[in-house]
Structure 1
Amino acid sequence: MAFDPQGLGQSNSDLAAILQELRRRAGLSGVQLARRVNMSQSKISKIETGRVTPALIDVELILRALEAPSELIAHVTALARIANTEWQDARALRRKGLDKKQVELATLERNSKEFRYLLPTTITGLLATPEYIRASLDPFPGDHSKAIAKKLERQAILYDPAKCFNFILTEQACLWPLVPAQAMAMQIDRLASVSRLPNVRSGIIPMAGHMPWAPLNVFTVYDTSLATVEVSTGALVFRDPRDVQEYLDEFRTFEGYSLWGEDARVKLREWADHYRGISQDL
């Protein structure tokens, strides 16, 4: 089944209806199916009415218990994967107001404890200076004062000792000249400063040595329950545990390529001094 962003909302109801019909064709009650798959009858009912989106592993258990034919298993598991994936269209988000997205992210941050950010191309708003945030929004038309204010408000979460933040930035993300040289030096100084917070781990991947794996996208993993992946036209949100685990595994891979602690700060000071030198030459 091809991935269709427009069909994401419909896929959950389709999945629920198919699973319910398959159970009925198998001549099983909800209670009987629940026993076969070691789930509660209440969970089976919520899945079949679309009130709960089942994980892929739940769907596979149900299909095996119902002895579904292989061609139908392929169709239903594809539906399950799409049902566990949300597409957030960037144009729609901008029309609604970028400040609304910041409120959504703040809620997600309040409800999560551990965060992992892979940043191969840009610096995330939590780590950005006001000038860098403003520049990141400049390409989009409209008044972004509310969105900028909300981004800066969200940075307070970094000082919550109950939260644990893990950032990995590539050299490109740190050095991309989104703002003038002096402002870039200040931005890199902020990266070094935030890395000293006791609940923050900041890793830097320099362009050196041999790295047989390359990052493709900016992504964030919230605890072990949700991963967001950013692309030019929007963002994908993954909730299936196996999809989330893929991003956790990728993050761990890049942890091994990164400089941490004082080694990272030495590199950041070097880069900040480079930009200060440029600004003095102008």
Structure 2
Amino acid sequence: MTFEPERLGQSRSDLAEALRGQRKRAGKTQTWLARRCNMSQTKVSNIEGGKLTPSIVDVELILEALGADSPIAAEILSLARSANTEWQDHWSSRRRGLDKKQNELARLEAVSTEFRFFLLSMITGLLATPEYVRASIADVPGDQSKTIAKKLERQQVLYDDSKSFTFVLTEQAVRWPLLPPMAMAMQLDRLASVSRLPNVRLGVIPLSGHIPERPLNTFTLYDRRLATVETGTGALILRDHRDVTAYRTDFESYEQYALFGEDCLALLAEWSMIFTRPRQ
């Protein structure tokens, strides 16, 4: 299936219409379908009304219950995959205000308990110093003070011991000189400090040795239900369990190359000294 970002929103209504039509052609009621799929009638109604986006598993159960032919089932499952994918482009986010995006992330963090961050090229806001946060959005026009304040406010979630965090950063992400040397040294000290929190695992992948992997994007996993993938022009939000599982597998693969604990702290200290070393 061709990926068309502008079609993602429409695919949700298309999916609702397709499932509703398939049920009616089968001559079944919502109550009958709900009972066969072990769902509430309200859930079936919300799916068919486009108020609730069903998971791929939900759609598979519905199609099996209705005895959908293979070609029709394949088409509807394709719609379900698109409906479980959301595209957020940077330009729309900036027009709405980046502080609105911070509110969305805070709500997502509030309802999640297990977080995995793979950071390929930059340090995420949860780990950033105020100076790093400010520099990371320096190219956005206008007053960004509200966005900076909200980014820093979100860092409080790290101190909620009911949640667990695993951060895997490449050496490039840690050492990319977004700030002047002394400010970068302070940023590395911030990483070391956060790594000592009891509910945080922070590891770095040094650019040495043999790493037979080819990471392409920064991504974040929220529990087992959602993955966000950063690109140069926006972010994909993936809810299909196959996509989330694939990124979990990738994360576990990258994680095995990372150094944690005292080994991580030693590397951070070494790199911090490079930033503070007097230039000849």
TM range (shorter): over 0.9
Inter-partner Cα distance in structure 2 for 1:25 and 1:43 = 20
Inter-partner Cα distance in structure 2 for 1:268 and 1:167 = 14
Q: Does 1:263 align with 2:263?
A: yes
Secondary structure of residue in 2 paired with 1:203 = strand
- Once the 2 structures are TM-superposed, how far is the Cα of residue 243 of structure 1 from its aligned partner? 1.8
Alignment size in residue pairs:
280
Inter-partner Cα distance in structure 1 for 2:232 and 2:217 = 10
Q: Which residue of 2 aligns with 1:54?
A: 54
Q: Which amino acid aligns with 2:279?
A: D
Q: Which amino acid aligns with 1:209?
A: G
Q: Which amino acid aligns with 1:43?
A: K
Inter-partner Cα distance in structure 2 for 1:126 and 1:4 = 31
Secondary structure of residue in 1 paired with 2:86 = strand
Q: Which residue of 2 aligns with 1:253?
A: 253
Map Cα deviations across residues 141-161 of structure 1 (whole Å, 9 max, x no partner): 222111111111111221122
Q: Which residue of 1 aligns with 2:181?
A: 181
- Once the 2 structures are TM-superposed, how far is the Cα of residue 31 of structure 1 from its aligned partner? 2.9
Map Cα deviations across residues 78-133 of structure 1 (whole Å, 9 max, x no partner): 11011111111110111111111111111211221111110011000111111111
Map Cα deviations across residues 52-103 of structure 1 (whole Å, 9 max, x no partner): 2111122122223323233222221111011111111110111111111111
| Identity across matched positions, percent | 60
Q: Which residue of 1 aligns with 2:279?
A: 281
Q: Give the TM-score of the pair, scaled to structure 1.
A: 0.94
Q: Which residue of 2 aligns with 1:149?
A: 149
Inter-partner Cα distance in structure 2 for 1:266 and 1:204 = 11
Deviates more, 1:55-64 or 1:127-136: 55-64
Q: Which amino acid aligns with 1:77?
A: L
Inter-partner Cα distance in structure 2 for 1:146 and 1:43 = 38
Deviates more, 1:167-176 or 1:72-81: 72-81
Q: Which amino acid aligns with 2:256?
A: G
Task: Show structure 2 runs of 5+ residues with no match.
Answer: none
1:1-282 to structure 2, matched below 5 A, reads: 1-277=1-277, 280-281=278-279
Map Cα deviations across residues 5-37 of structure 1 (whole Å, 9 max, x no partner): 222222111111111111111122223333433
Inter-partner Cα distance in structure 2 for 1:139 and 1:129 = 18
Inter-partner Cα distance in structure 1 for 2:206 and 2:175 = 11
Inter-partner Cα distance in structure 1 for 2:206 and 2:263 = 11
Inter-partner Cα distance in structure 2 for 1:35 and 1:253 = 41
Map Cα deviations across residues 212-243 of structure 1 (whole Å, 9 max, x no partner): 22221111111222111111111111122222
Cα distance change of structure 1 residues 71 and 212 upon mapping to structure 2, 3 Å threshold: same
Deviates more, 1:11-20 or 1:45-54: 45-54
Map Cα deviations across residues 157-211 of structure 1 (whole Å, 9 max, x no partner): 2112222111000000001111111111111111111101111110111112222
